[in-house]
Structure 1
Amino acid sequence: MPHAPIALFCFNRPEHLAKTLDSLSQAHGLRQSVIHAFCDGPRNDADQDGVAAVRALLRQRSATLPIVLHEKQANLGLQQSIVQGVTELVETQGRAIVLEDDILVSPHFLSFMNDALDRYADEPKVMHIAAYFPPTPVEGLPQCFFYRPASCWGWATWAESWRHLQLDAASLLSRLEGEAGHAFNLEGAYGFLNHLKLNLQGRINTWAIFWYASVYLRGGLCLHPARSLAWNIGHDGSGANCKGTSVFDVELAQEPVTRFPEELRECPEALARARAFFLAHTSVSRQEA
């Protein structure tokens, strides 16, 4: 299979984007890939300089990187920008690898994504490939495993899976009552449901929680590596939807993932370690956004 297209979502942070592009330029297999840079438009006059700087940077880097620009004049917002961009790529090319402008990747990121997309392409139960797992001890864990949240800091999916995305917060919440919601919240370790409630109230405008809920309610599986292949550097207070914190920081994997799970079921030990991580960081796991 040809390498999956890379959707890179950008807005007004050229310094973060430069670091993302630097890391991506070192990823094995980039030369067999195409980066589709989706650039959202400014919200107001204060965004103009940052948006212009991002687009200038992408044009400059396109001389050495396989970048195709998709520039929006109006501001779509994070949710609409990502949903539209991912939908465009998967509908035309069948699959997509997705990054935002504040994600650093391991040199083995693209290899893992493309290998997993090929390996599970005919397994409808597998709906999401993630590059990030919380910083927990890796001893005793397989190289990669299935774990229920659809982690969105570097991820990939197929057209058939993405068609099941639902964006009705009220409907999703109604189906996540009781035990379903408790399990969705990692048995109470993380307040994922709060993110749906805040979207319903109009207090935030995000997309990833809708994707996780859509996958979870279909009984879908999400593949994760034990050692993260992506790192979100946007927890520095510069982003609209991430508060400042360092608890999610990881050391990027320097070895490739070569072994994939044969059995299509969640890894209990990975779930236990993720729960322990979130319970140990109560202020983060309980935060509302």
Structure 2
Amino acid sequence: MSSDFSPEVPVLLLLFNRVDCAERLLSLLKSVGPRKIYVSCDGPRLGNHNDVFAVNAIKEKVLTSNWKGGIEVLFREDNLGCRKAVSGAIDWFFENEESGIILEDDCVPDLTFFSFCKEMLEKYRHDERVMGIGGQNYFSNKDFQYSYIFTKYNQTSGWATWKRAWKHYDRDMANWPSLRNSDWLLSIGSGGKVFASYWKSIFDKAYEDKDFSSWAYRWTFSCWAQRGLSILPTKNLVINVGIGDNATHTKNDDHPIFRLSLEEMSFPLSHPPIIALSPIRETWLDVNVYRITYKSYVKSILIKNRSTRWISSLYGFMANIVRRARIRCSMLR
């Protein structure tokens, strides 16, 4: 293992109201010592005194830290919310840099994550097929031949990308209406009708609801609109600790990303000979991470169509009868 992280790779920190998470990440970066650190912190929510206290504490910590390299700050006076604050910070980052690492305050990276990103940023700098570099590996079976794989799914907790990729960020999803009623989603990765229905619902909400807080879904859409892929390491290099009452989206840990352990990447890296997806692994991600299943597909249709709720009740009634019949049969054996 080597942690030969180049201080020439800049890092963007996305902070808000979690003082303990911010302190942990700032302390880690002191040991890494990047050339320049960019720190963005959203403003406190209106009337939220806890936010005011936390944001002020974070600002003081950032400004009084003794950094080896340069530091740039973007402290918002008003609360922009997750979508605008994060995407605006990344815009600001790439007004000054050609590539870099982006860390949200709720992620904890292994030191080898920085070395991994440095090498990937350089190797795929000019390859338009690659839009991002993730830090997490969700797979329970880690029998991999190489140090990383390619996937249709981008990651947005601890990741890296280039200015040439971020320029495609479609913040208003302007291209969605022209793609919505086409077969576009069916052609993404190992997608099928269930996959297409799942993401169509999400993209509809992101497009129609301007207050929808997720910037990440818009980034996923932007990457797929460019037929872009992401790099996923075969070791889990980032864990996410952003759960609980202060979390923006995740209030509990009932998800695979919160059951990951931190691992080290081995160097030198072993590179796959071609850029290609594994249909088996993509389907595994669909089902186990995004929970895109036929069962959830049918359930979503029944919930959306209120006129057929009686079918949902009937479905549950029949399933209960079948379950009881199986129990009786097993008792008779």
Query: Normalised by the size of structure 1, how large is the TM-score?
Result: 0.85
Structure 2 residue 179 is matched with structure 1 residue 175: yes
| Equivalent position of 2:19 in the other structure | 14
Q: Does residue 1:213 correspond to 2:217, yes or no?
A: no
| Larger Cα-atom Rg | 2
Question: Separation in 1 of the partners of 2:155 and 2:181?
Answer: 22
Contact 2:237 2:265 in 1 (8 A): no
d(CA) in 1 for partners of 2:74 and 2:211?
28
Equivalent residue, structure 1, for 2:202:
195
Q: Map 1:159-174 onto structure 2 (within 5 A).
A: 159-169=163-173, 171-172=175-176, 174=178
1:179 is displaced (CA, Å) by 4.2
| More off after superposition, 240-249 vs 112-121 | 240-249
Q: Does structure 2 conserve the Cα–Cα contact (< 8 Å) formed by 1:20 and 1:101? A: yes
Secondary structure in 1 matching 2:96: helix
Distance in 1 between the 2:202 and 2:30 partners?
Answer: 33
1:8 alignment partner AA: L
Query: Which runs of 5 or more structure 2 residues have no equivalent in the other structure?
Result: 1-5, 301-333
* Equivalence for 2:275: 264
- Structure 1 segments (4+ residues) deviating >6 Å: 279-282, 285-288
Aligned-pair distance for 1:104? 0.6
Note if contact 1:18-1:57 (Cα within 8 Å) is conserved in structure 2.
yes
* Corresponding residue SS for 2:218: helix
Q: Are residue 79 (structure 1) and residue 87 (structure 2) matched?
A: no
Give the secondary structure class of the aligned counterpart of 2:232: strand
Amino acid at match of 1:89: F
1:270 aligned partner, one-letter code: R
Change (3 A) 1:171 1:281: closer
Tell me, in whole angstroms, the C-alpha distance in 2 between the residues paired with 1:241 and 1:40. Answer: 16
Structure 2 CA distance for aligned equivalents of residues 281 and 136 of structure 1: 18
Q: AA paired with 1:196?
A: F
Q: Distance in 1 between matches of 2:289 and 2:128?
A: 29
1:39 aligns with 2:49: no
1:105-120 alignment runs, 5 A limit: 105-120=109-124
Query: 2: CA distance between counterparts of 1:215 and 1:7?
Result: 20
> Which residue number in structure 1 is paired with residue 330 of structure 2?
none
Aligned-partner residue type, residue 198 of structure 1: K
Code of the aligned partner of 1:231: I
Q: Percent identity?
A: 22
* Rounded Cα–Cα distance in structure 2 between residues aligned with 1:130 and 1:216: 16
Task: Find the residue that maps to 1:165 and give its secondary structure.
Answer: coil
Q: Higher helix share goes to which structure?
A: 2
CA RMSD of aligned residues (A): 2.9
| 1:269–1:25 CA distance, 2 compared to 1 (3 A) | farther
- Matched letter for residue 256 of structure 1: S
Q: Which whole-Å CA distance do the structure 2 matches of 1:123 and 1:164 have between them?
A: 14
Distance 1:277 1:114 in 2: 29
Give, as a single letter, the amino acid of the residue that structure 2 aligns with 1:134: Y
Q: What is aligned with 1:51?
A: 55
* Cα distance in 2 between the residues matched to 1:270 and 1:39: 36
* 1:144–1:223 CA contact under 8 A, matched in 2: yes
Report the counterpart of residue 250 of structure 2 in structure 1: 242
Higher RCO, 1 vs 2 (CA within 8 Å, ≥6 residues apart) = 1
Distance in 2 (CA, whole Å) between partners of 1:217 and 1:274 is 20
**Stretch moving more, 70-79 or 271-280:** 271-280
In the aligned structure 1, how far is the partner of 2:87 from the partner of 2:211? 19
The answer to whether the 8 Å contact 2:11/2:34 transfers is no
Distance of aligned partners of 1:41 and 1:70 in 2 relative to their CA distance in 1, 3 Å threshold: same
| Structure 2 counterpart of 1:104 | 108
Change (3 A) 1:33 1:2: closer
Structure 1: where are the runs of 5+ without partners? none
Q: Which residue identity is paired with 1:207?
A: W
CA distance in 2, matches of 1:59, 1:163: 30
Q: 1:92 to 1:252 in 2, by over 3 A?
A: same
Aligned residue pairs total 282
1:58 CA displacement: 2.0
How far does residue 64 in structure 1 lie from its aligned partner after superposition? 4.9
Residue 231 of structure 1 aligns with which residue? 239
Change (3 A) 1:148 1:45: same
1:97–1:111 CA distance, 2 compared to 1 (3 A): same
